[in-house]
């Protein structure tokens, strides 16, 4: 018989990742989504230059900085400041990525080996509207990746599934050798979020 998932079960689940993040000194449990993506695709490598779009509060940035080591460089951008202390090979900048693409040429580390986007809109509760906004952010991330990735570069991007999801995947397919769609275990089952991964910028 199927067991209903109670609110307390959901809270326990959330607590598991929150507590693990706290123990491992990450400011957010979203780090485990990138960790799963990394285990599946080996997206980020030692010495890489990584651009992290929507980087606050900074857990992806810290994890990426660990993977790339001292010879690499991780640069993050977000509407909000990152207040967590970052390692010396990582930096965070404030900016709105819906209209910042051109100025990214001047960023330290550009052009990049990897572009990540965990950008998400403030959710309204209206799933259709949230998905449209998420797709706008994902398209903006893809356009940044196309302008600022090296040939052969990698891309991983969050999007909420909705009517713009399939066209977005097609747009990524046009720009990369291989495309994978991935729902991490650490992502809430009820969440519409999913990751589109582009391997090998053409």
**Residues forming the annotated binding site for S-adenosyl-L-methionine?**
58, 60, 78, 96, 118
Strand 112-117 and strand 149-160: the pairing is parallel
Task: Please check whether residue 62 is in contact with residue 90, taking contact to mean a CB–CB distance below 8 angstroms.
Answer: yes
Q: Is 30 among the residues that bind ligand SAM (CB under 6 A)?
A: yes
H or E, element range at 93: strand 90-94
Which residue bears the tokens 């449209």? 132
How far is residue 50's CA from residue 44's CA, in Å, rounded to a whole number? 8
Write out the catalytic residue numbers: 158
In the complex, the smallest distance separating the C-beta of residue 129 from ligand SAM, rounded to whole angstroms, is 14
How far is residue 132's CA from residue 102's CA, in Å, rounded to a whole number? 24
In the complex, the smallest distance separating the C-beta of residue 31 from ligand SAM, rounded to whole angstroms, is 5
The stretch near ligand SAM (CB under 6 A) out of 10-18, 50-58, 159-167, 173-181 is 50-58
In the complex, the smallest distance separating the C-beta of residue 87 from ligand SAM, rounded to whole angstroms, is 14
Q: Is 54 among the residues that bind ligand SAM (CB under 6 A)?
A: yes
Per-residue binding letters, 139-178, with ligand SAM (x by CB under 6 A)? ----------------------------------------
Residues 79-118 that bind ligand SAM (CB under 6 A): 79-80, 96-98, 118
How far is residue 50's CA from residue 60's CA, in Å, rounded to a whole number? 10
CA neighbours within 13 Å on the CB side: how many for 159? 27
Which token pair is 10?
């959901």
Which is closer to ligand SAM, CB of 37 or CB of 179?
37
Q: Is 14 among the residues that bind ligand SAM (CB under 6 A)?
A: no
Please state the φ and ψ torsions of residue 66, each to the nearest 5 degrees. Answer: -65, -40
3-state secondary structure of 139: helix
Which is closer to ligand SAM, CB of 3 or CB of 23?
23
3-state secondary structure of 113: strand
In the complex, the smallest distance separating the C-beta of residue 28 from ligand SAM, rounded to whole angstroms, is 4
Residues in the site for ligand SAM, rule: CB under 6 A? 27-28, 30-31, 54-60, 77-80, 96-98, 118-120, 137
């Amino acid at each position: 018989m199927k067991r209903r998932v109670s609110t307390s079960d959901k809270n326990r689940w959330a607590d598991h990742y929150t507590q693990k993040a706290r123990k491992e000194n990450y400011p957010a449990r979203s780090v485990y989504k990138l960790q799963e993506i990394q285990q599946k695709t080996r997206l980020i490598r030692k010495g890489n230059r990584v651009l992290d779009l929507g980087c606050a509060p900074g857990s992806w940035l810290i994890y990426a900085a660990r993977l790339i080591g001292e010879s690499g460089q991780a640069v993050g951008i977000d509407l909000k400041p990152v207040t967590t202390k970052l390692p010396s090979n990582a930096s965070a900048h404030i900016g709105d990525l819906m209209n910042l693409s051109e100025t990214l040429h001047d960023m330290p580390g550009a052009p990049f080996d990897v572009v990540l986007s965990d950008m998400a809109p403030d959710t309204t509760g209206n799933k259709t509207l949230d998905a449209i906004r998420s797709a706008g952010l994902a398209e903006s991330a893809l356009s940044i990746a196309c302008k600022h990735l090296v040939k052969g570069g990698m891309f991983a991007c969050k999007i909420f599934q909705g009517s713009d999801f399939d066209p977005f995947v097609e747009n990524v397919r046009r720009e990369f050798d291989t495309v994978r769609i991935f729902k991490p275990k650490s992502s809430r089952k009820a969440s519409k979020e999913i990751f589109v991964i582009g391997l090998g910028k053409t």
